[in-house]
Amino acid sequence: MNNIYGVILGAGEGTRMKSCLPKVLHKVAGKELISHVIDCLNHVKLQKLFVVIGSGSDLVLKHLKRFDENLNITTALQEKRLGSGHALLQIKKYAEGLKGHLIVMCGDTPLVRQETIKQLLQYHIKNKNFATILSGIVNEPFGYGRIVRDSNGNVSCIIEEKSASQEQKQIKEINSGIYCFDLETLWQALSKVKNDNNKKEYYLTDVISILNKSGYKTDALSITNEEEILGINDRKQLAYASKILRNRKLDKLMSDGITIIDPTTTYIDNDVIIGQDTVIKPNTSIEGKVKIGKNCQIGPNTCICNSLIGDDTIILYSYVDGSNIKNNVKIGPFSHIRPDSILKDNVKVGNFSEVKKSVIDKGSKVNHLSYIGDAIIGKDVNIGAGTITCNYDGNNKHQTIIQDEVFVGSNVNLVAPVKIGKKVLIAAGSTITENVLPNKLTIARARQIIKVRKKK
């Protein structure tokens, strides 16, 4: 399908969110509301995407810059909020003259499936409609605009709740706020929309009756899953939408061969990728851009954020953030892997140890009560219990380099910047302040002295 355009109406203030953050930037299942909508539209292969912005426009613009330039996003500012019809008019100067079809979505509808938008577009084109509404059948239609059909079942108009008669209020088919329009006739109809209502606003819904009166065919595609068309207006709805999206994600993962021991205590964001036969144990959160390999064991009581995890890796009772964990790594219990860390194959980190902005090469171990910060650790290195890389001098961070096959005894302080050569043995309790050449035994501690204890 060619000449398909999209617009996201994202200028709303979101007053019920009671937040300084624009409503469309609030996160649901780890991703901003507007990002969910953009991802949904992106699968339709748009020629161009328009975004109408308003409240917190600077923050929204900054967020939109993160997206691939191939999306071809154009923004339009709605300085005064004068209704949905007025919002759509803000893109007219950018879209006038374009021919084709325009999909209209709201920036606070994260639950709409990609398949539903594709179905709406196909239905619109197949039936040669000039406007097609995505409608839903709901049990509690209060507050929504109703789809009014004539005796032949054709859509005649959308009537808002405040203007509906008692008979019309019984209608269960409601307007989702998602449409597909023929671009050329859309601008003609929008120019005829009036603001003769209590709010003095220009309603996009009025376009339907205007098109019908002008002899242009309109229609509605109705879906029965009312969850899809839920808009987010407050924090309760935000939490509810997150739950729905995460349940969808868990169902998909389990269908793909991943074991989720307890879905009720497992929280996995929408963009997470997990390999086959991995087991996710209870009380585990996996957030942001995370990719986990095959045959891993994650949890219990574990949080992983924005990280890459290889195959056959075990992470339990631990926190991993912004790091690259390779294959057959064991982390935990009670480890903290901080951003910009790389743990290569067969590394072990556990028992209240912390790693920050460091590279630990193959086969090395940091098993007990240690802090490794701003360090490069070679292959097959043993870091003894209580080892500290003293990387901060009060003003700057400095690097510690430990080469292959070094054995670091317990309770050692490595005062950076310092370099330890290959196959060095560092005696327990040492404080190392100078570089050590390869194959040396290093002892840096005071000689033990025993004296007679004076009695009081």
Distance CA 89, CA 263 (A): 45
Contacts 24+ apart (CB under 8 A), 275-284: 275/311, 280/253, 281/316
3-state secondary structure of 152: coil
Tokens 């309790």 belong to residue = 429
Distance CA 383, CA 414 (A): 11
DSSP strands (E only) in 212-258: 218-223
Distance CA 105, CA 178 (A): 5
Q: Which residues sit opposite 158 in a β-bridge?
A: 147
> What DSSP element (H or E) covers 415?
strand 413-415
Distances (CA, A) of 207 to 86, 99, 133, 186, 187: 12, 18, 11, 8, 10
- 398 has catalytic annotation: no
DSSP strands (E only) in 183-282: 218-223, 259-260, 266-268, 273-274, 279-280
The DSSP letter of residue 228 is G
Distance CA 386, CA 370 (A): 5
Tokens 């606003």 belong to residue = 201
Q: Which residues sit opposite 178 in a β-bridge?
A: 134
Which of 101, 124, 368, 398 is flagged as catalytic?
A: 368
**Mapped to the 3 state alphabet, what secondary structure does 96-128 carry?**
CCCCCEEEEEECCCCCCCHHHHHHHHHHHHHCC
Handedness of CA 448, 414, 325, 64 (dihedral sign): positive
Distance CA 204, CA 187 (A): 11
Pairing of strands 359-360, 375-377: parallel
Tokens 């050590």 belong to residue = 436
DSSP strands (E only) in 243-366: 259-260, 266-268, 273-274, 279-280, 284-287, 291-292, 297-298, 302-305, 308-309, 314-315, 319-321, 324-325, 330-331, 336-337, 342-343, 348-349, 354-356, 359-360, 365-366
Contact yes or no for 204/179 (Cβ under 8 A) = yes
Catalytic positions, written as ranges: 368
